[in-house]
């Protein structure tokens, strides 16, 4: 294996954290991965990685080498992409991570329209409420519903949604409607897990953020499942309005505690900074901005 490929293997070890993860990704043995790193260190005359049975860490030389190597590989990828685009055809695969509800309810129709315009593009979309580390390289774009951003990424606001609290008319008729957030302790709660606010519900009290830990009876990472549970009268749910919209339109759920509603959360398309962006990425981002503006 030549030095450039050794460099590529080294960068993936830094990003994935283990030799075995890189071996699995490249469909090679862990022993072969170790051999490539040994060859690279021997050719450079320095140790790049501190290895123990439990962890890996970069030496100072390894950190410097990784930073320069990563830039070189990105420059090569940019060169190849810019050259390919001289043919004026947008093609390739876009790898997207999106929250479960937003991806399932809103991104599929958007993708369908985008692919009609760019039929030579393929889109791989993974649905997960936990944002990925874009630096690992598994995704090109991460869609986030958040008020907290990683300063190391480019973030384009494509839409916004409100985080509100809901219950079914039947539940409220039986249990009564809470008038203050303190009364939530007397109610059954349905909790949305794997979100940026973790185990807490968020409220606005006199212009300040107030966090309350819900005593939930059902928790899920799927907003649609929680809305269905709330519609059946199982309890009160706090969720983004985008997840609840169909249930509000049908009257199955109503908003409560409006006076404590937080300001709208932005929905961002985030991606890593780089010198050159391939056409598949720029056309998709521009499409999303226009699509959700309607």
156-180 burial, b at 16+ Cβ within 10 Å, e below that, comes to eebbbbebbbbbbeebbeeeeebee
Q: How many residues does the chain have?
A: 294
Crossing angle for the helix pair 19-26 and 3-16, to the nearest 10 degrees: 120
Crossing angle for the helix pair 30-44 and 3-16, to the nearest 10 degrees: 120
The pTM of the full predicted model, rounded to 2 decimals, is 0.72
CATH 3.40.50.360 fits 3-85, yes or no: no
Name which of 265, 284, 280, 245 is nearest 159 in CA terms. Answer: 265
Domain boundaries, the chain: 3-85, 89-160+266-293, 163-263
The encoded tokens of residue 12 equal: 């993936």
Kind and range of the H or E run holding 125: strand 121-127
User: Under CATH, to which class is 89-160+266-293 assigned?
Assistant: alpha beta
- List 293's β-bridge partners, or say none: none
What sign does the CA torsion over 283, 285, 291, 294 have? negative
181-215 burial, b at 16+ Cβ within 10 Å, e below that, comes to beebeebbbbbbeebebeeebbbbeeeeeeebebe
131 vs 195: CA distance, rounded Å: 9
pLDDT tens per residue across all 294 residues of the chain: 488 888 889 999 998 888 999 999 999 999 999 999 999 988 989 999 988 777 788 999 988 898 888 888 877 877 776 676 665 678 889 999 999 999 999 999 999 999 999 999 999 999 998 888 888 778 999 999 887 788 779 999 999 999 999 999 999 999 999 999 999 999 999 999 888 788 899 999 998 999 999 889 999 999 999 999 999 999 999 999 989 999 999 999 999 999 999 888 899 999 988 777 888 999 999 999 999 987
The encoded tokens of residue 168 equal: 């079914």
Question: What is 163-263's CATH number?
Answer: 3.40.190.10
85 vs 283: CA distance, rounded Å: 12
Tell me, yes or no, if the two domains 89-160+266-293 and 163-263 fold the same way.
yes
């Amino acid at each position: 294996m030549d030095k450039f490929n050794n460099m590529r293997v080294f960068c993936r070890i830094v990003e994935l954290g283990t030799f075995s993860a890189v071996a699995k990704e490249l469909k090679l043995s862990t022993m072969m991965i170790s051999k490539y790193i040994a060859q690279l260190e021997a050719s450079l005359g320095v140790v790049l990685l501190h290895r123990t049975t439990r962890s890996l860490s970069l030496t100072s030389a390894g950190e410097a080498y990784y930073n320069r190597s990563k830039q070189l590989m990105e420059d090569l990828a940019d060169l190849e992409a810019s050259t390919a685009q001289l043919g004026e055809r947008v093609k390739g695969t876009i790898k997207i991570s999106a929250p479960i509800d937003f991806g399932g309810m809103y991104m599929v129709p958007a993708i369908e329209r985008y692919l009609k315009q760019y039929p030579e593009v393929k889109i791989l979309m993974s649905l997960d409420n936990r944002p990925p580390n874009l630096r690992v390289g598994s995704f090109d774009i991460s869609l986030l519903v958040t008020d907290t951003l990683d300063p190391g990424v480019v973030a384009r606001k494509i839409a916004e949604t409100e985080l509100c609290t809901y219950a079914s008319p039947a539940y409220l008729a039986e249990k009564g409607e809470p008038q203050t957030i303190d009364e939530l302790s007397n109610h059954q709660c349905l909790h949305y897990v794997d979100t940026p606010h973790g185990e807490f519900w968020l409220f606005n009290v006199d212009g300040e953020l107030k966090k309350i830990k819900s005593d939930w009876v059902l928790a899920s990472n799927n907003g649609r499942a929680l809305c269905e549970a709330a519609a059946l009268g199982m309890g009160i749910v706090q969720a983004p309005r985008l997840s609840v919209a169909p249930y509000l339109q049908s009257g199955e759920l109503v908003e409560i505690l409006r006076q404590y509603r937080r300001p709208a959360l932005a929905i961002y398309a985030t991606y890593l900074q780089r010198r050159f962006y391939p056409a598949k990425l720029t056309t998709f981002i521009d499409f999303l901005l226009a699509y959700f503006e309607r």
